[in-house]
């Protein structure tokens, strides 16, 4: 079974923490900040999004512990 793309893994993870709007949120974030198709996201590019993801997650989810847990997993996915 092929390994899921970075984007698919991030999308799944983000949906767990930010609910059903996560995929649209991620697609817009990736298009706006990286100017690439989400499916082409790699770990190096994900590192460039980490600060934006952290800020946005705190804006849409008031549970700081949950957001911090999410960000730990995002950083692990990025290899940072």
Q: What is the pLDDT of residue 13?
A: 93
pTM, two decimal places? 0.88
Distance of alpha carbon 12 from alpha carbon 16, whole angstroms: 7
pLDDT tens for each residue of 49-80: 999 999 989 988 889 999 999 999 999 999 97
Q: What is the pLDDT of residue 80?
A: 73
pLDDT tens for each residue of 23-42: 898 999 999 999 999 999 99
pLDDT at 43 over 80: yes
Dump the DSSP string for 5-70. PHHHHHHHHHHHHH-TTHHHHHHHHHHHHH-S-GGG--HHHHHHHHHHHHHHHHHH---HHHHHHH
* Domain map (residue ranges) of the chain: 18-78
**pLDDT band at residue 3, thresholds of 50, 70 and 90?**
confident
Structure tokens at 42: 């790699």
């Amino acid at each position: 079974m092929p390994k899921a793309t970075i984007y698919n893994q991030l999308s799944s993870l983000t949906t767990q923490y930010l609910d059903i709007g996560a995929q649209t949120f991620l697609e817009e974030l990736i298009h706006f900040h990286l100017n690439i198709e989400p499916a082409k996201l790699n770990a190096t590019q994900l590192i460039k999004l980490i600060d934006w993801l952290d800020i946005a997650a705190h804006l849409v989810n008031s549970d700081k512990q949950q957001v911090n847990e999410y960000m730990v997993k995002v950083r692990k996915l990025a290899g940072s």
